[in-house]
Amino acid sequence: MSIALDLSSNYLTGELPVAVKNLKHLGEFYVSQNRLSGWLPNSLGKCASLEYLYLDGNLFGGPIPSSLSSLRGLVELDVSGNNLSGGIPEFLVTLGELKYLNLSFNDFEGVIPSEGVFKNASATFVEGNNKLCGGNPELHLSRCNSKTSSNTPLRVKIAIAIVILGVALVFSFFLIVWFRKKKKQQPTTTFGIIYKGIHEESGAVLAIKVLNLLNRGASRSFLAECEALKNTRHRNLVKVLTAVSGFDYQGNDFKALVYEFTEKGSLEDWLHPSIDMNEQETVRNLNFFRRVSVAIDVAHTLEYLHHRCETPIIHCDLKPRNILLNEEMVAHISDFGLAKLLSTDGVSYSANQSSSLRFRGTIGYAPPEYGMGSELSTKGDVYSYGILLLEMFTGKRPTDERFKESLSLHNFVKSTLPERITEIIDPILLQQRDTRGTIANITRNRNILGNGRHLQCLISMLKIGLICSGESPSERMDMNDIVTKLCSIRDKLHPTRLHSED
């Protein structure tokens, strides 16, 4: 069984420690999508058992270290989306087990090899490196220029160099702008990319999730999602219209899932809106009533998955990014790529089996017992739901940099309730419009959200979040009880109706 270490999609900074050389029996190492910088340490070459090495989406610079030539069993290497430079190392040609190589969007230069893994254009990715040339014609790189004639005057050479540099800078600028927009329009999920499409005949807008089958576990994710959703029927589940499994025009495996499109994006977009410097800021504020409504939608869905399906389902990756909102701001749970099905004896099973912790959720939302090797259970989803509630009403991610050592989002909320509640709630909830359309400037001496009833309801929501996110599974509530309590809170808010402004 391969030993795996997955630190992907966090906020890790600094250099990759030289001490990585001590991980001599590590078979899989993932640090994708962090903020790591510096040169790749030569000590990586000491990890002789490595088969899967993913360093993509960081700020690494310098060349690929020659010490990696000792990783004779390397099957997949991804260093895309960094600032790596220099030539393509010739030793990559000699790695006979290498089946996937992604060097995209770096600053490599020179002639690209044509042997080894580079023979297979469907297994080698080099786009976004404008100084590369030659290689397999299917890579569509420019031909390598011959040396400039020695008879050419120096001033002509300088003029040519300046023109080429100017064109390259302009082209690079547009390439960067295009790539950033491309990434924004195509959000990634656990194992693929979501595209927005339009049905040619009906004109219906669709969301199409195309699996990246070169990612480890993508095929299992596809099977798990199909298995989990094939017999489910609930208004708050994202609706799968069809699944596609076949081959693309190059004869490679192709798998995709087609969903109904959700117009308002994800809950992540509303709780933590990002600001694009090239676009006008769009104000996305969820008021208190909308948040309560979304919380109830999600709770009803989990209660259905855990207790009303013929085969109970554990979602395993509940977080704001996997909760989508339609035009009416109704919440839908999505991305069942990590889902597990419970057999009649309570044991989890799925097409997506793996020994790696990579498949046990997202850091900050996954329950602590999963990190200690405990069996998956519905109480794991309850923990994730509790963290989700705390995040929705405080506006703080569980991975916020302030939560270090013994301080967590759970402890942060627990230490302030109920007397200091105004210190922890999302500041947006302190600015609710009254019936005359003016801003209520709430202070500690005034009732939050307008009156005491709303204050008590908010405290009750946070208390449910604390119970659900308790460290021990036995302390957590069942989704049936959670739904009952949330509906009671909603009833106390009436006759107040949902505000139309978001």
pLDDT digits (tens, 9 = 90+) for 55-76: 998 999 999 999 999 998 999 9
317 is an active site residue? yes
Per-residue confidence (pLDDT) for residue 149, from 0 to 100: 35
Edge-first strand listing for the sheet containing 35-39 = 13-15, 35-39, 59-62, 83-86, 107-111, 131-133
pLDDT band at 136 (very low <50, low <70, confident <90, very high): confident
Per-residue confidence (pLDDT) for residue 281, from 0 to 100: 42
Per-residue confidence (pLDDT) for residue 155, from 0 to 100: 56
Mean of pLDDT values over 205-214: 82
Q: Which of 317, 335, 381, 426 is catalytic?
A: 317
Fold for the domain defined by 264-493: Transferase(Phosphotransferase); domain 1 (1.10.510)
Highest mean pLDDT among 126-135, 144-153, 391-400: 391-400
CA distance 71 to 50: 7
CA distance 452 to 456: 6
431 against 420, higher pLDDT: 420
Residue 212 has pLDDT above 60, yes or no: yes
Would you list the domain boundaries of the chain?
A: 4-146, 264-493
Instruction: Count CB-CB contacts under 10 A for residue 5.
Output: 15
Per-residue confidence (pLDDT) for residue 370, from 0 to 100: 87
Per-residue confidence (pLDDT) for residue 162, from 0 to 100: 65
Please tell me if the domain spanning 4-146 has the same topology as the one spanning 264-493.
Answer: no
Per-residue confidence (pLDDT) for residue 151, from 0 to 100: 42
Mean of pLDDT values over 343-368: 61
CA distance 402 to 409: 9
Is the pTM for the entire model greater than 0.85? Answer: no
Per-residue confidence (pLDDT) for residue 485, from 0 to 100: 95
Per-residue confidence (pLDDT) for residue 452, from 0 to 100: 74
Q: Please identify which residue in the block is written with the tokens 């001490």.
A: 19
Residue 306 has pLDDT above 90, yes or no: yes
Lowest mean pLDDT among 147-151, 189-193, 285-289, 330-334: 147-151
Highest mean pLDDT among 81-90, 173-182, 193-202: 81-90
Lowest mean pLDDT among 108-122, 226-240, 243-257, 416-430: 243-257
Tokens standing for 257? 């899932």
CA distance 267 to 121: 38
Residue 22 has pLDDT above 50, yes or no: yes
133 against 174, higher pLDDT: 133
pLDDT digits (tens, 9 = 90+) for 140-161: 788 887 543 344 455 555 666 6
Percentage helix, strand, coil for the chain under 3-state DSSP, each rounded to 5: 35, 20, 50
pLDDT band at 422 (very low <50, low <70, confident <90, very high): confident
Per-residue confidence (pLDDT) for residue 491, from 0 to 100: 86
pLDDT digits (tens, 9 = 90+) for 453-480: 788 889 999 999 999 999 999 999 999 9
pLDDT band at 179 (very low <50, low <70, confident <90, very high): very low
Per DSSP, what are the bridge partners of residue 28? 4, 52
247 against 309, higher pLDDT: 309
166 against 190, higher pLDDT: 190
What DSSP string describes 353-380?
--SSGGGS--TTTS-GGGGGTPPP-HHH
Tokens standing for 4? 């795996």
296 against 17, higher pLDDT: 296
- Provide φ and ψ at 416, rounded to 5°: -115, -15
250 against 75, higher pLDDT: 75
pLDDT digits (tens, 9 = 90+) for 479-493: 999 999 999 998 887
Burial of 457 (0-12, 13-18, 19+ CB in 10 A): buried
Residue 229 has pLDDT above 80, yes or no: no
Per-residue confidence (pLDDT) for residue 396, from 0 to 100: 94
Tokens standing for 441? 């400037």
- Provide φ and ψ at 248, rounded to 5°: -85, -175
CA distance 457 to 85: 56
Mean of pLDDT values over 126-131: 87
**377: CB partners within 8 A, 6+ apart:** 314, 346, 348, 473
**What is the rounded average pLDDT for all residues in the chain?**
80
Fold for the domain defined by 4-146: 3.80.10
pLDDT band at 280 (very low <50, low <70, confident <90, very high): very low
Which DSSP letter does residue 238 get?
A: P
